[in-house]
Structure formats: C-alpha cells, structure tokens
Structure 1
Amino acid sequence: MTHEHTPDTTDFLSQEFWDERYRSTTAVWSGNPNPRLVEQIADVTTGGALDVGSGEGADAIWLATRGWNVTGVDVSTVALERAAARAAEAGSEIADRTTWEQADIVSWEPPARRFDLVSAHFMHLPGPARESLHRRLAGAVRPGGRLLVVGHHPSDLETSVGRPNVPDMLFTPEQVAAVLDPAEWEILVSAVPSREALDPDGRPVTIHDAVLHAVRRA
C-alpha cells in the first residue's frame, strides 16, 4: 500500500496551483459528467443549478443539456475559460444555459436560497474549511431544492489508489449530513458506493465515494 507524500494543503486551495495544473495538459478530467451526478439527478425536474468546483465544465454542460440553467464556479480562470469554450462547442443553447464565475471557494458566499440544485463533486478541503463550505452550499439551496455532495471516502487511504496522505481532507456522507439541520433537510441518499479504478501502477483497485443527496424541506 502506497500513498503520495503528505503535501502542504494550502497548495490545493490556491488559484495558482489549479491554473498551473490546467495549463499543464489539454484535459485534466475525462470530459464526462461525474457518474454520481448522473445517477442522482437524471430524473430530477430541472431549474437553476450551481456547480461548485466546476473544472472544465463537464458536469455543468451535462446539466445544461438536460435543461438546467447552470452557474459553474471554480477557482481557476484557466479551467473556466476551457469550460466556456466547451459549452460553446456544444451549441448556442448550451452556452446560453451556462455561466461561469471565478471564486475562492474557501471564502466565497453563494447567493442565499437561490438554486434548485447545488452540486459539488470531489471538493476536498481541510476539515473546518470543508464544513464551512458545506454549510454555505446548503444555504444556497432554495426550499424544495437539492444538495448533492460527492467526495472520496476515507477508506480509499487503505488502498493503493494514491490519494494525498491527508485524511482530514477526505470525508463521509455522515460528516456532510452533520452540518444540515434535520428540521430543514430530508436526507434522500447517504451512501458509500464502490467503483473500480486503477492505481498509479495500473493495478485494479476498488475505491469508494461518499454520496450525500438531501432536499431542503419546502
């Protein structure tokens, strides 16, 4: 079992780090929407969506093709420029349904109770910053709207998949649910589904996602 060295977590939070990562290659991500987003949201009535940590735009563009009006937010201007270009390539209707906003996720305040869906996939911050982010994301969901948070589960550190050796940056669905007021929220899904991946040496490995899908009571 091997893990990456323990990094300085401030690297993960800066615009400079992410701009450089996106500049280093033509595509950091696959270009496909996250499977947990598709599983959880494919049959949900459309509206206004906020995609936090939108990266190169695959999730936001998928939502737009389903009829959502999406605001994609990311710290990296390089990623946002790439996302906007890909939305334009998908057609004028998709470009019109997507807007892109640069923000420092650690301190950014989304509009209160504005969105029918707030989605954040694999946004990994140190514990207190993560809890603060999840509270702010929950605050952006309007009554009757949904919060979907997906991340790497801490059990991945027991595999050879190569996660950064910072346990505090991984989380469980229960930790996400803990920031939600039960009087205001109904938990629809709190699960740790598995999926197959390859570790840095190309060996197959089973990893797990933390999935929390909740609806704000109307």
Structure 2
Amino acid sequence: MLLFLVMANLMLKEFSTLLIMSGSSSTRLLLLFFIFLFFHNLGIYVGFIYCLFEFTEYTNFDECLQYIEDYMIKHGPFDGLLGFSQGAILSGGLPGLQEKGVALTKVPKVKFLIIIGGAKFRAPSVVEKAYSSQIGCPSLHFLGEHDFLKEYGKELIDSCVEPVVIHHPKGHTVPRLDDKSLNTMMSFIERIQNDISENKEEVQSMS
C-alpha cells in the first residue's frame, strides 16, 4: 500500500527541500513537527509529505510518483529531498527514476538528498530503474548503530557518488546530534547552499 498525504509547507529562504516521512503513529507526527521547527531555524523551504507503504510490494506506485510530481509543480520548485524511514527509501530512489525518465520528468533535477534511516527499494522492477547507475547528487545519510535497516542503509550509501555519513548510537529514529555531527550536517547544508547559489548565478549570467 502506498499513501501520500501533504501535511504542511512553509516558504523560507535560500533553498528548498521536499521532506518525505513514513509511519502511522503519533510519534511520527511529533517527529515531523520537530524536524519542521529545526529546518525553519535553518531557513530552508520544507515541503512535508507523510507516506506509508509496504517494503517489498507497492500498490499504486505510479500514481504516487505522479502525486509527488504534481505537488512539486504546484508548490515548488524544490531543490532536494529529505526522507525518513520508508520515506528515505523513496527519496533515495527518486533521482535514479528521474534520470531514467520514469518519475519527476516535469520538475528540475533533484540536487541533493538527506536520508535518515534509509535503504534501497527491494522490488526488482523498481531496483533495475532506480539504481542502474550510481546516485550522482550529493547526499547526507544518518546511520544508526542499532537501526534494523543499518545494513540496507549501507547498500544505499554504496550506491551514491558523494555520500556524507553521520553515524549515531541509536536505532531507527531521527537522532539527537552531538557537536561533531551537527558540524558535519551544517557543512553539508552550506555546501549545497553555495552550489545552488553558484548555479543560479551562472544561469543569470547566461540569460
């Protein structure tokens, strides 16, 4: 089963992120709220999408890809994707699907990924399209020592050209960051900010 529900979106500054979350409990909704506040403080345009789907069997998958694209067209443009859990699985697969012309064909190319507790798709029909080549955009991965998806998360990291990895001692959760991890995350965000600003300047100079 695949279900996407738009939770909220907030216009901020600098660059934008489409956040894809997963789960069904009130804890997940609370996590959404705290991450929303966190990115608000960083000045990032965040679009929240709440999703629930099975790990190996996907119903209405094409319809859900179309829903995400329609949302991005209506509320974007978005520069990157941030996903947690099954939302991270989807986020990690979208750049490859976009590259293959399977998804997000009417929106700008995904420029970066932030993956929290993620993994790769398992269904062969999706795998052959999503990971036929390495994921070329910069990516930041949060990998929990006791996360049940840890080994699968490593597989996704190995599929990325430019992965930055933050290890934490917890399980399948959005972790509290120590100073070192926070600096790593902020360095990644600043790098993305600079890259996007430079690209915009290049486009403006050519026009």
* TM-score bin (small chain): 0.3 to 0.5
- Name which one, 1 or 2, has greater alpha-carbon Rg: 1
Which of 1 and 2 has higher RCO (CA within 8 Å, sep 6+)?
A: 1
TM-score using structure 2 length: 0.38
- Taking structure 1 as the reference length, the TM-score comes to 0.36
